[in-house]
Each structure stands twice: as C-alpha cells, then as structure tokens.
Amino acid sequence: MNSTLRGRTRVVITGLGAITPLGVGVDAFWRELLAGHSGVGPMTLADATTFPCRIAGEVTDWDPQQFLDRKAARRMARFAQFAVAGAAQALEDAGLDLEREDRDRVGVLLGNGGGGYPDIQDGARTLFERGGMKVDPLYMAKTLGNMAAAQVALQHGLRGYNGTIVTACAAGTQAIGEAGMLIRAGRAEIVLCGGAEAAITELGLAGFCVMRALSERNDEPEKASRPFDAGRDGFVPCEGAGVLVLESEAHARARGARVYAELAGFGCTNDAFHVVAPPEDGEGAARAMAAALRDAGVGPDAIDYVNAHATSTPLGDAAETNALKQVFGEGAYRLAISATKSMIGHGLGASGGMETVATVKTVETGSIHPTINQENPDPACDLDYVPNVARRADVRVALKNSFGFGGQNSCLVIVRYEP
C-alpha cells in the first residue's frame, strides 16, 4: 500500500450475503460458481411468449418467510425482500450483535436500477383496467427505489446514514465504494451495502428487447450468457441481491471480527459519450479503473485478478477489453479475468453486489471462478478470461468493474487483509 495512504481509516469487509439464481446464501452461490454451473433457464416471472428473449436467471427457490414474517413480506416488493434477506445473512455472517452497537452509527447504502418493477407494472395495469382507486394502497411504499435500504433499516432499527444509488448497472458497486467513503469520512462505523434487483417483468423485457440488448439463444439457456465469446448476442436478465458488511478496521478489531478482505480503493467516472453505448476504446471505464488504483495506492502491476463487468454484449465486452489494455498495457495479458454474469446473467443494479461477493471470496480463498461458455475465441477479446474451469491462484489484489447505462462507471480495489 502506498505510504501516502498511511493514517487513512482502513475499511474492512466482515460479512457477506447473497440471493442469486445459483442459490440462496453465499455458500451455495460460491460453490456453484466454482463448479461452472449456470443459473439461467426458461423465464417464469414474466410471460415472454411474444418476445425474442424468453430466458432469465431467476431466484427459483425463493421463500421470503425464511427471513420475514408473512405480513412484512407482503408489504415489500420482491427487490426489497431480497435486500432484507441479503442484509440479514451478512449481519449474521459478520457476527454483529446490534444490541451492543450504536445504531446511529450503522448505515445502509444500496443500489438498484429503479425500484419495484413488478409492482409498477401491476399498478399501471390496475389503473387502466379498474381505475386509480383500485391501486394497491402500498403501491408507493413498494415501488420507490429507496425502499430496499429503508426496509433494511426498519427491520434492524438502523438509524444511521441511509441512501440509495441508482446508477443503472453500476449501482451496486458504486454503493459499496461510497459506503467505504462514509466510513473513511467518519460518518459511520458500519455500513450494510451492495445492490438488489427484481426487474423481470413484461415491461422491462419489452424495453430491453426493442433495444436488441438481450440474448435470443432460447434453446440453450445455460449457454446464452457468454461474455467475451465470439458468439455472444446480448445479455441475459437476472435478479437477486448481494450485501456486504463494511466496518472501520478499528471497530472490527475491537470486537474481534473475522475479516474477509479490505476495501482499499474506489473509482467512479462518466463516459459523457452516449446514453446506452460505451465508447469503443473504453476510455471512461479505463479512467474509473485508474482512479480506483490511485485511491488504493497501488499500481497496475499489483492487480492479480479482475472480476469483469462483462455483460455478454458485442460492444460492451470489447470496450472493457480495450479499457483493460489502456490501464494495464501489455500487463493485461497476464491478468486472470472472469465474468460472474456468464453463470447468473445480468442483475442490473444488483450485479455489483453479487459480483463483489464473488470477488471477496476469490481474495479470501485463492480460487477464481471461470467464465463459462468460452467456445469461440473473439480476436477483439484476446485476454485470459479463465475459460470454463476454475483456477487456483494467489490473489492478493483484485479489481471489480461495473459499468452502466448513462456512461456510469464504478470500480473497486479489494485486497487481502493484513493488520
């Protein structure tokens, strides 16, 4: 770590929670990632019969009453249920006894793409078919984007900083980065952070399909998400949540917490280029990566592993590859790079949360999950994407990338913790 960073409050990761298409809980998620299993299948949450994309990464074994009483669950949108469940897992994993904490110093900062999509769609249908006074009385309380973070706070009595990041597909990663900033600024001692999304609806499907953004490989759902492969034809929508517990190092050590890793750096930029397309050279993404490295006080040579944004879109994957080459030069060819989305699909604002959980597990365990469906090399994507089979490696410093519509770019540097 750069000597200029000495004396700065260190931020450590002490708890993890995950609700994913590969299973509920971090253990199931991580086990399936290492095995290279796909969580993508036929879409059931929306009627996709008239759409060119009919597949998704759905949380198929979801039972909110594992985490909430029935009444509370009914009052929450699905994305908020995921967030509450992920937060409960992360708090338990961190061994935090909230009765012994100053809850004014415990914050929540979560990302999502736009709130309760299924409830928004249902409300609109009710409005036009039955009239406005038949809309669910809880419509606003379910649909607002801030309700995931609000519900986490309500469930646990967390009275500290509370916020929501809505920067499309960069939201979960940006929430984690800004949570670290809150702790460094002394605004919180503990922050639950990450992302949650449940956007698989007919309206959402229609919006992405008319853009030609989604994969149409319906006959082989498990092979549809294929980042960096020459046969990639668009992303596969998914849902879920990834939540982390961040603490100041001093607080974690004082309570004898187990530390997974350290959040050392955060970079955030905008392409200022196009509303949905990245620049071909990945210039904005490269600036975000470089900013995260500077914030962490490390050079490009220190990075051992990159968890890529890697949506499986023709433009996006090539642009990210070009951005990596800008930042790392010839060193890009020595990097181990993998795409979590190859197995779960693209969770929009939740992706950064789920993928950061995977990145932390990589640093903790020294195991790198593969990028599956690597069958046809693309000359434009010629780096080491850890094809098809997991790999053991000494990963001391990892980079996590997330890029979103609107040109939003957020990157994290996560390092092995050394007291």
Q: What is the pLDDT of residues 114-126, one digit of tens each?
A: 899 999 999 999 9
Are 347 and 233 within one domain? no
Beta strands 305-307 and 397-404 are parallel
Which residues neighbour 70 within 8 Å (Cβ) at sequence distance 6 or greater? none
Are 233 and 312 within one domain? no
The per-residue pLDDT for 7 is 75
Are 235 and 278 within one domain? no
Each residue's pLDDT tens digit, 296-328: 999 999 999 999 999 999 999 999 999 999 999
Distance between CA atoms of 15 and 32, rounded to whole angstroms? 20
84, part of any domain: yes
Asked if 177 contacts 118 with a C-beta cutoff of 8 angstroms, the reply is: no
Amino acid occupying residue 224? A
122, part of any domain: yes
Distance between CA atoms of 102 and 158, rounded to whole angstroms? 9
Q: Residue 328, CB half-sphere, CA atoms under 13 Å: how many?
A: 25
Distance between CA atoms of 306 and 336, rounded to whole angstroms? 6
Are 235 and 269 within one domain? no
Domain boundary among 233, 254, 275: 254
pLDDT band at 3 (very low <50, low <70, confident <90, very high): very low
Q: Residue 368: pLDDT above 90?
A: yes
pLDDT band at 5 (very low <50, low <70, confident <90, very high): low
391, part of any domain: yes
Are 247 and 320 within one domain? no
CA dist 55 to 36, 63, 224, 372, 408, Å? 18, 21, 9, 17, 26
Mean residue pLDDT of the chain comes to 97
Q: Can you point out the beta strands (E) in 89-133? A: 106-111
Beta strands 391-392 and 367-368 are antiparallel
Asked if 262 contacts 10 with a C-beta cutoff of 8 angstroms, the reply is: yes
Token pair recorded at residue 281 = 């050279």
CB atoms inside a 10 Å sphere around CB 256: 7
259, part of any domain: no
Are 298 and 343 within one domain? yes
The per-residue pLDDT for 4 is 44
Are 199 and 93 within one domain? yes
Helices 351-365 & 171-184 angle (0-180, nearest 10): 70
| H-helix or E-strand spanning residue 164 | strand 162-165
Each residue's pLDDT tens digit, 92-151: 999 999 999 999 999 999 999 989 999 999 999 999 999 999 999 999 999 999 999 999
Distance between CA atoms of 411 and 304, rounded to whole angstroms? 15
CA dihedral 71, 200, 318, 360 (to 10 degrees): 20
Domain boundary among 208, 230, 254: 254
Are 166 and 117 within one domain? yes
Distance between CA atoms of 412 and 356, rounded to whole angstroms? 9
CA dist 15 to 94, 224, 246, 279, 356, Å? 4, 32, 7, 36, 12
Beta bridge partners of 268: 410
Rg (CA), the chain: 20
Name the active-site residue from 156, 251, 309, 369: 309
Name the active-site residue from 156, 251, 346, 369: 346
260, part of any domain: no
Are 238 and 344 within one domain? no
Tell me what the mean pLDDT of segment 350-364 comes to.
98
The per-residue pLDDT for 261 is 98
pLDDT band at 89 (very low <50, low <70, confident <90, very high): very high
Provide the residue range defining the domain that includes 37.
3-254
The per-residue pLDDT for 61 is 85
Q: Exposed, middle or buried, 89 (CB in 10 Å: 0-12/13-18/19+)?
A: buried
241, part of any domain: yes
Domain boundary among 216, 234, 254: 254
Beta bridge partners of 110: 164, 194
Are 108 and 127 within one domain? yes
Are 280 and 248 within one domain? no
| First-to-final CA distance of the chain | 12
Which residues neighbour 167 within 8 Å (Cβ) at sequence distance 6 or greater? 111, 174, 349, 404, 406, 408, 410
281, part of any domain: yes
Q: Tell me, what DSSP letter sits at residue 133? A: G
Asked if 242 contacts 172 with a C-beta cutoff of 8 angstroms, the reply is: yes
Asked if 12 contacts 83 with a C-beta cutoff of 8 angstroms, the reply is: no
Q: Tell me if residue 369 is catalytic.
A: no
Q: How many domains does the chain contain in total?
A: 2
Assign residue 177 the CATH number of its domain: 3.40.47.10
Asked if 335 contacts 360 with a C-beta cutoff of 8 angstroms, the reply is: no
355, part of any domain: yes
The per-residue pLDDT for 60 is 95
Q: Tell me if residue 169 is catalytic.
A: yes
Are 81 and 102 within one domain? yes
Each residue's pLDDT tens digit, 25-39: 999 999 999 999 999
